[in-house]
Structure 1
Amino acid sequence: MEMSVNKKVSKNLLYGVLLAFSVVGQAGDQSRNAAPATEQANKEVLNLLPFEDKTDFERARRGLIAELPGGKIQVEGRKRPNWDLNPYAFLDGEAAATVNPSLWRMAQLNMANGLFKVTDHVYQVRGLDLANITFVEGETGWIAIDPLTTAETAKVAYDLLSEHVSKKPIHTVIYTHSHVDHYAGVRGIVSEQDVQAGKVQIIAPAGFLEHAVSENVIAGNAMSRRAQYMYGIFLEKGSRGQVDAGLGKGTAQGTPGLIAPTLTISETGKKMTIDGVEVVFQVTPGTEAPAEMNFYFPQFKALCMAENVTHTLHNLYTLRGAEVRNSKAWAHYINESIDMFAKDAEVEFASHHWPTWGNEQIVELLIKQRDLYKYLHDQTLNLANKGYTMLEIAEMIKLPKSLASEFSNRGYYGTVSHNVRAVYNKYLGYFDGNPAHLNPLPPEAAGKKYVEFMGGASEVTKKARKAYENGEYRWVAEVMSHVVFADPKNKEARALEADALEQLGYQAESGPWRNFYLMGAKELRTGVRKIPGAGSSASPDTAAAMTVDMYFDYLGVRLNAEKAEGKKMALNWVFTDTGEKYALTLSNSVLNYSRGKQLDEADATITMTRRALNPVLQETQTFQDLVDKGQAKLEGNNRSLNELMSMMDDFDLWFDVVLP
């Protein structure tokens, strides 16, 4: 399918690595078959869950109007598709031995794609990106909820709606929360000019813009690298590779953007009439995202639960890295939704997966999701207060059958194991109280000691190979990681660890766990595949949305402490278009700044517009370039700014993960 949009692919902090390029993985000729222990483990899953229940398959296809033509989106002139479901054709039929049957089932469900009618006046486009986009019909136009990750996929979704339902303009865009797959495709359906002219309003929860930008800045490089693992970016799609992401098939490729909200919602119970459609809002901060909200359409008896209720156990801690989420608050807000909306709702839909129809079914879904997060919270702290440690609790807690037997509570995205550890960490931190763990050796040093104490690499590998034959893959992965960190050139150790990780991936019910294991195996076998030019610089919209405070905070993170040792510096900054003034100081190898302040003893004063800072944030220009072009004025010591910037580190996206 061809379309006319800006074809320049931008890079964006954190998720930008998912958007900046589309790479087909190398042939997986080093992958192995499922070992006997894995085959047995996956067979046992078939007896744990009611696979004969096909209700979700019926719901996933209910109301289908039109599928994505050809199963593919590809911008004219682009070598690879922006989105392509065709490589997942292998998912037809019974689960392969190399895939957990429960994950296989979810992977099949997430193949449902195209335009669907949810109820009168409410439509969804699913299966064109990681998330869903929902359209609610108003009197003169559409209310668009969560416009996906890229302009390309969002535009195709809107085109499907216009072709098969009604060609109306977008009246309002609603961002349910501050994660990129729920706002970054906005430029595919509306223009910033129309927003600025008041033709389109954009509504988001309070704090949306701050969190949408800030989460992607301070630790953006590390998050981007880990996101490659979480989504299996370089894995081939197949029964030995990437099969699903849990919330959807994966992330779309293309052009991310951001248009700032024109209205924010900060109060639960706030009512609005949008183009003739009544909406009741519920703010849910600190749940699945720091800024998030649910809402209800009384006229249509339709409840949107954003990403707070989906058909999976979600993440209390996301493996790409982020602040731990509040499971108690999550359960509280679902309970509040039940009290506010559930008695009247006849259809519930969310930002991922398929809707739920029928009041009784909706209430049951919300109750069991509420109790899921509350159970993990309460039972983790129950055991913590009995003296058990984080790792012990993660091994001990099992969901009660009434929760565990529900497919919608299974760990396709989050897992009981890592969510329990998240709850512990949120309350008690990483330290388990054992003084032997207070100051452990780092991995390389520990690896050498472990190998020495266990009789050398050859002996460790020999014992580990026997453990592998016994199906003890967790232990093999752990012990061989020590050998690899002691000697990363040990090919036999790398191969055995890769084999163990691969079997763990084949058994994983969670899409992200599978992807992490298989990405680790791949890089142990073939090394890190670096993509020239790919990095974590900010997209134009992200750069424009960053505050000066965020930029100076990020400079502090980039500062190389050794290069700054013993140096002192003070710089005044004046931004003429915003009227902002800052004093930036360097001392003790630390950068600090004060807003609204200027120092008499400053080494130099930099005067510029805030807008001129954007290309610096995008790493397409330097401050010296701005000075040379007359876009910035430097008064005082003209070497001071260059000296400061020479102390900054550039972060390599392609750092090793499974190697030292």
Structure 2
Amino acid sequence: MRIDIADARRAFCGLFAAALISGQALAQAPPAAPAIVPANVLLAEHSNWFTPAKIYDLRREHYPLASYPAGLNYEIYSAVGFDLANTILIKGPSRAPSGERELIVIDTLGNPEVSQRTIKAFRAQGLLPQCPDFSFGQPVPAACKLPLRAIIYTHNHIDHTFGVWGFLDLADRPPCPVADPKTPGADTVLDTAVENRDCVAVIGQSKINDGVGTTALVTGTIIDARSSYMYGNFIPRNHVNSGIGPQELGARTEVDGKQVLVNGSYRMPSRTFSNELKVLAAGVQMQLVYVPSETNDELAVFLPDRRNGTTPPSDNDWSGPGLLQSAEVIQGPSFPNLYSLRGTAYRDPANWFRSVDRLRQFNAWCMVPSHGPPLCEASNIQRLLKNFRDAIQFTHDQTIRWMNKGYTMNELAPLVESLYLEAGQHDYLMGQLDGVRPIKNQNVAANRCPDSPARVVPPHQAVPPAQDCVNPRDYLRPFYGSVVQAVREIYVGSVGWYEADPVALRPTPPKRMAEETLKLTCVPKPQGNGAMICGADAANIAAGDALAKARSLKQGGEEAESLAQFQRAAELATIVVRAYTQLLPSDAIAEVQALKTARALKAEAFLGLAEPQLNPNWRNFYITAAHELQDIPLPSDIKGGLVAPGVIGALPAAAWVNSLTLRLRAEVTAKNAVNQSFGFWFPAEGNQGFGAQGFLLHLRHGIAEFVQETAAGQPLPQRDVAAADFSVSMSKTALDALLLAEARGADEFRKAWDAAVQSGQITCLAGGNSCLEPFAKHFALYFDPKPTGLPPLADR
């Protein structure tokens, strides 16, 4: 059927009644203080899992397990609610010369200051020796040193690794030399009393350094910005929780009377493995197993009872029963975050539910996760594991099923969600979870929490039911992940972004498309008489009309229809905002007042969408994006986080040099047909144990090739590095200073460079000093400074 263009335009223009131009009034007002957005009552109650912060002593707290296993030679504690993740402390039977029991730590929290604060909580409860009080960053009194024998990272994420130096600084011995990250350790046995007698073993799966390096030097800058939105770091007045733990905030400490940010840090493992490692540390025998799930370097820890009693056997039987540390394979309590809104590499759900199946094979009497409280009693654990993995498999398999019928990404998301919610799977899983007995519900009659009213409440207001009760259904409620975001990721991870309609092969750029759409957008003038308003004003009127409908529907209790109208308002306003976006120069710029109106309308729509959300990540994104649109001040840049200097400096120097290829100013080097090389020589020093290392960056027009080996596969000799057009020798001290400075901008980087040159920490590799200024000049010309700014995420 042929459609007449004029008829189509008239039909489109007639869709909206011009009943509201409230956005213009909104836009006239100065930036307001952040609004207090009411919270979904179920989300508010979900804080009960982590509040107040608590250290679980499984000897005394193991509900619904009838009794703690007799004869175990270790003690285990889980600190929940002190940070986004937990830290788990194991006291072994072996004793240090001081007489204290030796320690193992699983996961180190996200910041060294937070780690040491948590250690103080252990001391306050008498679980670690008392010692003189001292502030973070001060010298550690000898009496405060701890007999730490091993640290185990479950995976690479910041909240599990970047607090490591908070523990290592308190250890009574140094960390063991790092293992070569290019060579995985053997899947054998690590006996720390034999191999690491005088140092702290740091243990991780062989892919962990790749995970840390990728976020620190490749994607971390944009992920830090998106994480700040997702975790609500800029909206403390509106914050409820982060779904799998309390709010994640940067730690601070006082220096010279001023509060300064404490950056995270990292220590590469001294021992890695690929699939399985048996570990003997502090007298405790543990089985570490590879369980790819939330990350590709995830590991779980199993402590068989038979190997951790008063007389451990000499055989090779590692079967249960025993205690299971489940890492983040079981995530939550929440529906698993199969895709993270902050941005992440593909998390294969099929790998994930098969890793849950691996956990099901362990006969665990208690499961200690890296998020949320422990879960005890074998049938209780098996019930949760089965239903958790079934939710993942349903989401994965039904996405693939309908994808193979030709459905595209955005068609699949509501389809699979509808199948999950309406075909009986959701009700079945929730009914199964009703039989799970959380450790916090020991004093709750029949393990049942009173039903919550279907309403929203202001955050921090007292919320029924009793604060002691946690709902086992939370293990599959969307408090962190959700079906719809997972479905889109499964589609892209399986077949990529292209949906097979050639219209998407070279689409009109977003700004141009928005401009062209506005030319077709018309609504009747409020005065009637058949006259029309077109362009940006028409889109804003339509957005305002949608907002009015959303409010009316909300007051009438029609939540789904109300959310649809809030979404429509946001989408219509976005057309105007996008038409103004100045990512690229354009002559077609609409009136400034129309942009202000659109931004105000879009912000109000986002606040309306935020209010009923169960998922705190969605809620936080909506609210922070609204603040961005309302010109409520946000930080101009993100300091620390995934790209903290202490993290990058803990990686091999090669990682930083290689990352420079991602900052090449191709518009300069390609246009000028640059064909030059930079050489970097790092003398053998420090405790990484790699010896002297050399690297080349060969610039050819629009690329920078990173070279670390000869054609024969051998490390570059010094003479090859010295033969570069510009080459320097740089000490580890100089590199650390440059990393610290580049996080503060180009001017600070140049100051640190000059200081290192003056102190002799950076020298010409070929001798003399004539190379230093040309190196610095061309380096600044060809490479971007480290990006530190907070880009617009919603105002575009």
Task: Give the TM-score range, shorter chain.
Answer: 0.7 to 0.9
Q: Secondary structure at the match of 1:392?
A: helix
Within 2, Cα distance between the matches of 1:516 and 1:158?
32
Within 2, Cα distance between the matches of 1:143 and 1:213?
25
Relative to structure 1, the CA distance from residue 236 to residue 548 in structure 2 (aligned partners, 3 Å threshold; closer, same or farther) is closer
Query: Which residue of structure 2 lines up, in the alignment, with residue 466 of structure 1?
Result: 545
Within 2, Cα distance between the matches of 1:221 and 1:495?
28
Query: Which residue of structure 1 lines up, in the alignment, with residue 734 of structure 2?
Result: 612
Relative to structure 1, the CA distance from residue 484 to residue 392 in structure 2 (aligned partners, 3 Å threshold; closer, same or farther) is same
Letter in 2 for 1:159: K
Within 2, Cα distance between the matches of 1:535 and 1:448?
38
Select which of 497, 504, 510 maps to 2:615: 510
Select which of 247, 267, 272 maps to 1:264: 272
- State the 1:408 CA deviation: 0.5
8 Å contact kept, 1:148–1:181: yes
8 Å contact kept, 1:214–1:550: no
Within 2, Cα distance between the matches of 1:30 and 1:599?
54
8 Å contact kept, 1:536–1:653: no
Within 1, Cα distance between the matches of 2:338 and 2:733?
37
Matched, 1:627 2:757: yes
Across the aligned residues of Structure 1 and Structure 2, the Cα RMSD in angstroms comes to 2.5
Within 2, Cα distance between the matches of 1:518 and 1:389?
29
Select which of 238, 243, 246 maps to 1:246: 243
Matched, 1:645 2:780: yes
Matched, 1:307 2:311: no
8 Å contact kept, 2:681–2:721: no
Relative to structure 1, the CA distance from residue 554 to residue 153 in structure 2 (aligned partners, 3 Å threshold; closer, same or farther) is same
Query: Which residue of structure 2 lines up, in the alignment, with residue 194 of structure 1?
Result: 174
Query: Which residue of structure 2 lines up, in the alignment, with residue 480 of structure 1?
Result: 573
Relative to structure 1, the CA distance from residue 637 to residue 134 in structure 2 (aligned partners, 3 Å threshold; closer, same or farther) is closer
Instruction: Within 5 Å, give how 1:551-630 maps onto structure 2.
Output: 551-564=656-669, 565-566=671-672, 567-577=674-684, 578-596=691-709, 597=716, 598=720, 602-618=724-740, 619=742, 621-622=749-750, 623-630=753-760
Letter in 2 for 1:99: A
- State the 1:29 CA deviation: 4.3
Query: Which residue of structure 2 lines up, in the alignment, with residue 282 of structure 1?
Result: 289
Query: Which residue of structure 1 lines up, in the alignment, with residue 508 of structure 2?
Result: 441
Unpaired segments of 5 or more residues in structure 1?
1-25, 34-97
Matched, 1:500 2:605: yes
- State the 1:484 CA deviation: 1.3
Select which of 31, 35, 50 maps to 1:31: 35
Matched, 1:293 2:313: no
Deviates more, 1:174-183 or 1:382-391: 174-183
Select which of 334, 338, 358 maps to 1:336: 358
Within 1, Cα distance between the matches of 2:503 and 2:637?
43
Within 2, Cα distance between the matches of 1:536 and 1:373?
29
- State the 1:534 CA deviation: 4.0
Within 1, Cα distance between the matches of 2:654 and 2:784?
19
Within 2, Cα distance between the matches of 1:295 and 1:536?
27
- State the 1:600 CA deviation: 8.5
Within 2, Cα distance between the matches of 1:583 and 1:199?
34
Q: Secondary structure at the match of 2:634?
A: coil
Select which of 95, 105, 125 maps to 1:144: 105
Within 1, Cα distance between the matches of 2:214 and 2:340?
16
- State the 1:643 CA deviation: 1.0
Aligned pairs, number: 563
Q: Secondary structure at the match of 1:219?
A: helix
1:263-304 CA distance string (max 9 Å, x none): 223233x3333222221221123x212211011112282211
Give the structure with higher Rg (CA): 2
- State the 1:521 CA deviation: 0.8
Q: Secondary structure at the match of 2:789?
A: coil
Letter in 1 for 2:45: R
Query: Which residue of structure 2 lines up, in the alignment, with residue 394 of structure 1?
Result: 413
8 Å contact kept, 2:80–2:86: yes
- State the 1:559 CA deviation: 1.4
8 Å contact kept, 1:624–1:642: no
8 Å contact kept, 2:92–2:283: yes
8 Å contact kept, 2:215–2:642: no
Q: Secondary structure at the match of 1:397?
A: helix
Within 2, Cα distance between the matches of 1:522 and 1:372?
35
8 Å contact kept, 2:341–2:617: yes
- State the 1:361 CA deviation: 1.0
Q: Secondary structure at the match of 2:168?
A: coil
Over 6 Å off, 4+ runs:
none
Q: Secondary structure at the match of 2:391?
A: helix
Matched, 1:156 2:117: yes
Relative to structure 1, the CA distance from residue 451 to residue 522 in structure 2 (aligned partners, 3 Å threshold; closer, same or farther) is same
8 Å contact kept, 2:668–2:782: yes
Query: Which residue of structure 1 lines up, in the alignment, with residue 374 of structure 2?
Result: 355
Unpaired segments of 5 or more residues in structure 2?
1-29, 60-67, 69-74, 94-100, 130-145, 177-196, 252-261, 309-321, 432-472, 523-534, 551-561, 582-591, 685-690, 710-715, 743-747
Relative to structure 1, the CA distance from residue 207 to residue 534 in structure 2 (aligned partners, 3 Å threshold; closer, same or farther) is closer
Relative to structure 1, the CA distance from residue 404 to residue 611 in structure 2 (aligned partners, 3 Å threshold; closer, same or farther) is farther
Instruction: Within 5 Å, give how 1:182-261 maps onto structure 2.
Output: 182-191=160-169, 194-196=174-176, 198-237=198-237, 241-254=238-251, 255=262, 256-261=264-269
- State the 1:624 CA deviation: 4.7
Letter in 2 for 1:154: S
- Share of identical aligned residues, percent? 25
- State the 1:504 CA deviation: 1.2
Query: Which residue of structure 2 lines up, in the alignment, with residue 425 of structure 1?
Result: 492
Matched, 1:403 2:407: no
Q: Secondary structure at the match of 2:343?
A: coil
